[in-house]
A and B are shown apart, each in its own frame.
Chain A
Amino acid sequence: MGIVNRGFRGRRSQAGAETVPPGQYLVNDFPVLTAGPTPLVDLDAWDFTVVDETGAQAARWTWSEFRALPAEDITTDIHCVTKWSKLSTRWRGVSVDTLLDGIETSTEYVVAFAAGDYTTNLPLADVIDGQAWVTFAYDGIDLEAEHGGPARLLVPHLYLWKSAKWVRGLRLLDEDEPGFWESLGYHNYGDPWREQRYWGD
């Protein structure tokens, strides 16, 4: 049972509003939400690594090696836990399937790690089969630093904090391990359609 705010009508004429998850509203710009300063990333020192469940490095790419991998265009809606959603955003990136290709594992979890010790945890099943990418371009141009450039994870079916900015690699884990926001009150899984914003949702 909720309460009714007399006189409140809201803005329901938004085009496309029927396609956003509960509690979200549409924006046309691209808000930035980051917990600290925007890091400056040196491409010469950049690498992307996959670490297996034993802690061993299973794969590594320098920036030029990463950019030589097959890339694809992605057009998708994105949903931030702070309530905004943006429709039909255009990205270009390397599928996580490509990055995990040839790596034998029986683990069920993965942690994405990024600049500034940021981490976010995901079930492995949520980043494979064409559901996640390491992106390097947004709307036709190189991904800007404030949006996570040079490279950002994109897992659009979960709230956007799972799409780690300045991502540097994936660590495979036998046991789930809550990441940065997941340890600070935000939901462990983060499905926008089930409105899993916070602990207990």
Chain B
Amino acid sequence: MRWSVATVAETVPQSAEVVSLYLDVVDWPGHLAGQHVDVRLTAQDGYSAQRSYSIASPPGAERLELTVARLDDGEVSPYLTTDLDVGDQLEVRGPIGGYFVWDAADTRPVLLVGGGLGVVPLMAMLRLHAALNHDGAMRLVYSTRTRRQILYRDEFDRLDSERRAVTVTLTRDDDPDWSGRLGRVNRQLLCEAGWSPDVEPRCFVCGPTPFVEAVANALVALGHKPDNIKAERFGPTAGD
């Protein structure tokens, strides 16, 4: 798979540590909702480093959106989130990953469960669902630490509809103004904000490894078939 040159068209801060990069990619072949790309940075002396990032933009979007969290001890993310300016170029190749993808031809209910930055590939699914005005029903359960760290909050307000429900839960209550859910994603929340196993929803779970382990196990315990649960984990280092 060959590398393509991407030009930064816009950068948008999503929170204190998270930035969305909007890229113009020459000859982008298109992607499916849930896929990722490899990004390569090259220093003046030829040293290079690669990392993988999930695609937040839906298939068919004009620009490729990558949403990146700055890890202070990371090698690539500080450059992407801080140093990169509009007009700068970087190398990307993709799309990659043919499993953690939502097929819009599938009309079964969908449950998306995201932890922290794990919401990013789920955004591509939610946005595609909205763009298609899809007949099926999609529900997103999204957990993040604090209110200030909620990504895409304004967009959730716009996307939330009869067939698309977004539930946000905060795991650290630091805001007296927050009237939404509190606490980790557990069986009770998955029952209330998700689907009964009887309707056999397609489940997509993405987040840090302990989050995905806990949510996937909870879904299995609630009676969802393991075959219906697709997971994408990132470790403390793997999302760097």
Indicate if the CB atoms of A10 and B48 lie closer than 8 Å: yes
Complex alpha-carbon distance, A180 and B99, angstroms: 9
* B39-70 CB contacts (< 8 Å) to partner A: 40-44, 47-52
A126 at the interface (CB under 8 A from B): no
A10 touches B5 (CB 8 A): no
A contacts, CB < 8 Å to B: 2-12, 23, 25, 27-39, 82-84, 116, 146, 180-181, 183-185, 197-201
Q: Which residues of A contact B41 (CB under 8 A)?
A: 5, 8, 10
B238/A84 in contact, CB under 8 A: yes
Q: Which residues in B have their C-beta under 8 angstroms from that of A9?
A: 43, 47
* A136 to B: closest C-beta gap in Å: 21
B1 touches A36 (CB 8 A): no
| Residues of B in contact with A (beta carbons under 8 Å apart) | 1-3, 5, 38, 40-44, 47-52, 75, 79, 83, 88-91, 93, 96-100, 209, 213, 216-217, 219-220, 226-227, 229-231, 233-238, 240
Complex Cα spacing A134 to B217, Å: 26
Number of A-B contacts (CB under 8 A): 123
* Distance A25 CA – B227 CA, assembled complex (angstroms): 32
Contact between A11 and B231, CB atoms less than 8 A apart:
no
Chain A residues touching B, majority SS: loop
Report the separation of the CA atoms of residues A197 and B234 in the bound assembly, to the nearest whole angstrom.
18
Query: Are A10 and B75 neighbours in the complex by a CB distance under 8 Å?
Result: yes
- Tell me the complex Cα distance, A181–B234, Å: 18
Q: How far is the CA of A178 from the CA of B219 in the complex (A)?
A: 30
Q: How far is the CA of A200 from the CA of B220 in the complex (A)?
A: 37
Q: Besides the contacts A36-B227, A37-B229, A82-B52, what 9 more A-B pairs have beta carbons closer than 8 Å?
A: A3-B90, A5-B42, A8-B83, A31-B236, A34-B231, A34-B233, A35-B231, A84-B237, A146-B209
8 Å CB contact of B235 from A3, A32, A197: A32
| B38 CB to nearest A CB, Å | 8
Find out whether the CB atom of B226 lies under 8 angstroms from the CB atom of A33: no
CB B223 to nearest CB in A, in angstroms, measures 13
Residue pair A35, B230 in contact (C-beta under 8 Å): yes
Instruction: List 21 A–B pairs whose Cβ atoms lie within 8 Å, in order of A's numbering.
Output: A2-B3, A5-B43, A7-B79, A8-B79, A9-B47, A10-B41, A25-B49, A27-B237, A29-B235, A31-B234, A33-B235, A35-B231, A36-B216, A36-B226, A37-B226, A38-B216, A83-B38, A146-B209, A183-B98, A185-B97, A201-B1
Q: Are A83 and B217 in contact (CB under 8 A)?
A: no
Q: Known interface pairs A37-B217, A37-B229, A200-B1. Does A8 touch B43 (Cβ–Cβ under 8 Å)?
A: yes
Q: Which residues of B contact A34 (CB under 8 A)?
A: 231, 233
Which residues of A lie under 8 Å from residue B83 when comparing CB positions?
Answer: 7-8
Q: Which of A11, A32, A116 contacts B49 (CB 8 A)?
A: A11
Distance in angstroms from B208 CB to nearest chain A CB is 10
User: In the complex, A8 Cα to B43 Cα: how many Å?
Assistant: 5
Task: Give the residue name and chain of the B residue nearest to A183 (CB).
Answer: B98
Contacts of B216 in A (CB 8 A): 36-38
| A31–B237 CB distance below 8 A | yes
A149 to B61, CA, bound (A): 41
Closest to A198 in B: B1
* Assembly CA distance A10 to B50 (angstroms): 10
B82 to chain A, nearest CB (A): 10
**Do residues A37 and B1 form an inter-chain contact, with CB atoms below 8 A?**
no
Given A10-B47, A32-B233, A198-B96, residue A5 in contact with residue B79 (CB < 8 A)? yes
